[in-house]
Chains A and B, each alone.
Chain A
Amino acid sequence: MSGEAEMVIRAQSLVKRFPGVTAIKDASFTVERAELFGFVGPDGAGKTTMMRMLAAVMKPDEGEIRIEGVDAVARPEDMRRRLSYMPQRFGLYEDLTVDENVRFYSDIFEVPRKLREERSARLLAASGMQDFRNRLAGQLSGGMKQKLGLTCALIHAPNIVLLDEPTTGVDPVSRRDFWRILHGLCAQGVTIVISTAYLDEAERCTRLALLHRGEIRHCETPDALRRKLPGQMIVVACDAPQLAPVVRTLSGLPGMLGVRAVGDGVRALVDNQELRIPQIDRALIAAGLSRAKVERVPTIVEDVFLALLQREAREG
């Protein structure tokens, strides 16, 4: 673990209440320099509330946030220069062109004239938007809007970038491009905090916090998270009509830590592959489902999240 100096964001015991619901319950975490830190969780988990508190556009009811050593709750204006925030809703001006938006934020952040032209040209080119400079922002596609948002967020070369669900609704190709840009930034030393409901994007973070109903359930690297699972994933590949019977068969077997049907098979978390796979084979044959094949597969974050939630539900 790196020393204190590398800790760019430190949040301690954050609580945020709204009428009728506690959106964030006692959350603590740290983010190190040049990390790509992800808040992952379903809608309503508290991702946006968390991001808003980090961006100091909302105050926590309890707890402390330190950003590069500055108390972000007591003195938010001191750290606004160093970070950028991209809210979940498109935050730029739809009735202004791409260029006008970039120019506006260059002025707001007091980017020196000499650097402005070069930087905006480079950023727009990296997003493939150099031919759209005179287009009104409202006429861009969803993916392009997000890239424009990112361009404006980066125009003043911040140390920290906060992105609230920047890839929601964006198609996978554009999402890949977006992540490529983000990783490029990290390589240059920028610290990125991102929130997402796409569990498969969790794999791309260097560290992630699983957020569920206002609580940080787990905060680790994707690998460590996978290792937290007590078993291994296997898949029983079969046709659609066999899905339900296979689920029934597997659910009756010992050592099954979680069973779910997907489109072309049944995924099961087993406690011990070597032991259980032959058992499964036999059970399937006995049930007349011999055409189903059993394979080992890597665990994905959805499996982890599911298993952890189920376990906690059982224990809780």
Chain B
Amino acid sequence: MNANRVMAIARKEFLQVWRDPRSLAIALLMPLMQMFLLGYGVSLDIRNIPLCVFDQEGSQHSEALLQHFRASRYFEVAQPVHTYAALRHAIDAGKCRLAIVVPYRFSQDLSVLGRSSVQAIADATDSNTATLAVGYAQAVLNAFASDVEIRWSGPQRDTLRPQPLAVESRVWFNEELESRNFIIPGLVAMIMALVGALLTSLTLSREWERGTMELLISTPVTGTELMVGKLLPYFSIGLVDATVCVLLAVFWFDVPFRGQPVTLFVTTFLFLTVVLGIGYAISASIRSQVGASQVALMLTMLPTAMLSGFTFPIDQMPRLIQGITYLVYGRYYVSILKAIFLKGSGLGDLVLPIGCLLAYALVIAAIASRQFRKSVE
């Protein structure tokens, strides 16, 4: 491999990206935009769920319970209702997502039987929110008294078991249960996948479309030299983007960073190899820019968004899908990033996912260099 030729290609590629407003926008603006839009917009936590209360008893006890709900940051207590009809109306009108009915025998059952229950009626059009809301409600109740349980009016007829023993739970590594803390590292992965693949997927296709590739392949330049030379500038751009995203994550979004920058650098480098390699392979296979960019989006954004553990936890997915996620390169990087940010893991701790990424990188590099042919056909 001739170093001069590789550098010549890298220099040319860099100049072209620099002078092309669209490429620059993708390389520099898009990551920033994504970070801000998704960083602020995406939150899996739910706050201020509108809550309706139907207090049939109206005792001191029930009032104390309602105080707990009012004080909770999960709920926003709306006007009290006094009939079931009014409650149903409130849910239908969207005035509340969850309604709690305190039965008229509430305090009596508590003192005589030792346990009681309240009824929760949830607007389950968004079952995720409904389930969460009920869960939060139980949490509020537990804080009030461990012997009060919830009977949930919903598709699940089972009632939640009362907890006679108080369980002290501690959530490790993300004490605030801030969803942002585990979303943003994943976001970094997704941005890099998108930017990296988009930029490189156009690189060869553009030259074929403009006619410059026909001339280039008539020269002594080899496929490997071309690949390395073309990817070098995108590597640099990718690393810069990653740095910017990480800095934003840490200093703007206050995501804790407990790991070493070196670990981050090495793993990011590996991930970039994979992503850029995929983009290059796409570009070598599809000689139209439009086609290449579409395929790039499909092969990078979609899997990384859906199946890498970025938004939806992998262990909640059906078995078959879980198996498929092993093929999603984003999965390894997302878990690596979360580990570095939140657990402070070092290279030694991450041998397995790093190994997987490395294997992936080698396979992709082999595919990419084979896809490129020095022929106009």
Contact = CB atoms under 8 A, between A and B. Distances in A.
A46 to B, nearest CB: 15
A58 B375 CA distance: 5
Contacts of B222: 77
A57 B375 contact: yes
Interface in B1-60: 2, 4-5, 7-8, 11-12, 15-16, 19-20
A104 B220 CA distance: 13
Nearest to A88: B211
Interface stretch (A93-101, A173-181, A239-247, A248-256): A93-101
A92 B2 contact: no
Interface in B202-251: 210-212, 214-222
B376 A108 contact: no
Contacts of A93: 12, 16, 212
A110 B220 CA distance: 10
Contact of A85 (B20, B212, B215, B375): B215
B374 interface: yes
Interface string A47-80: 0000010011111000000000000000011001
Contacts of B210: 89, 94
Interface bracket on B: 20 to 34
Contacts of B16: 93, 95-96
Contact of B5 (A94, A100, A107): A107
Interface in A131-173: none
Contact of A59 (B5, B214, B218, B375): B375
A84 B214 CA distance: 12
Contacts of B212: 91-93
A55 B218 contact: yes
A178 B5 CA distance: 29
A90 B211 contact: yes
Contacts of A198: none
A260 interface: no
B168 interface: no
Contacts of B376: 52, 57-58
Contacts of A58: 375-377
B5 A89 contact: no
Contact of B219 (A95, A100, A103, A109): A109
Contacts, number: 76
Interface residues of A, number: 31
A258 interface: no
A85 B211 CA distance: 13
A110 B215 contact: no
Given A95-B20, A100-B15, A107-B7, A81 B220 contact: yes
Nearest to B213: A91
A110 B216 CA distance: 14
B181 to A, nearest CB: 42
Interface string A102-116: 011101111000000
Of the listed residues B212, B221, B222, the one surrounded by the most CB atoms of chain A closer than 10 A to its CB is B212
Contacts of B218: 55-57, 80, 83-85, 87
Nearest to A18: B377
Contacts of A90: 211
Interface string A253-273: 000000000000000000000
Contact of A57 (B2, B5, B15, B374): B374
24 contacts: A52-B214, A57-B218, A57-B375, A59-B377, A77-B220, A80-B218, A80-B219, A84-B218, A85-B215, A87-B215, A89-B211, A91-B216, A92-B215, A93-B212, A94-B210, A95-B15, A95-B19, A95-B20, A96-B12, A105-B219, A107-B4, A107-B5, A108-B219, A109-B220
